[in-house]
Amino acid sequence: MDMRIGVVVSKWNAFVTDPLRDGALETLRLYGISEPDLVLAECPGAFEIPTVAKALLESGTVDGVVALGAVIRGDTPHFDYVCGAVTSGIGRLALDYGKPVIFGILTTDTLDQAKERAGGQMGNKGAEAAAACVEMVALLRRIRSLPFENGSTKS
């Protein structure tokens, strides 16, 4: 498949993010995206994901980004600050760059909920995020190739 995808994954909570990463990479390979067209970037934590995703988008070398991480609620408001910042950053990047930046960040109340979504009973949200990225890249390409009303195409 003629598509280059960046996968940004947080190393924090690696027992959850490693299976998310593996699910995403396996799914991208199933879609026919070869190793040279997969760009894996690991960062310290979820808070850093938007910065790394932005760097990939600024490089001009990726068609979309899959953002993977896990933020598990604790006893302090830290969870709320991290989740809010990451959500806002990822959303803004997608709009600013006009490319899919898929939110594959688990935001769970418990460790068990995170594990269930990283290959457990609730599936693998990393695999789902990767599939969504491929679908969005294809959809945006199709929309951008539509002819204008006068019959010409955008150059």
Residues designated as active site: 78
| Residue in the structure block whose two tokens are 């969005």 | 136
DSSP symbols for 25-87: HHHHHHTT--GGGEEEEEESSGGGHHHHHHHHHHHT--SEEEEEEEEE--SSTHHHHHHHHHH
CA distance 15 to 81: 22
Rounded Cα distance, 79 and 69, in Å: 13
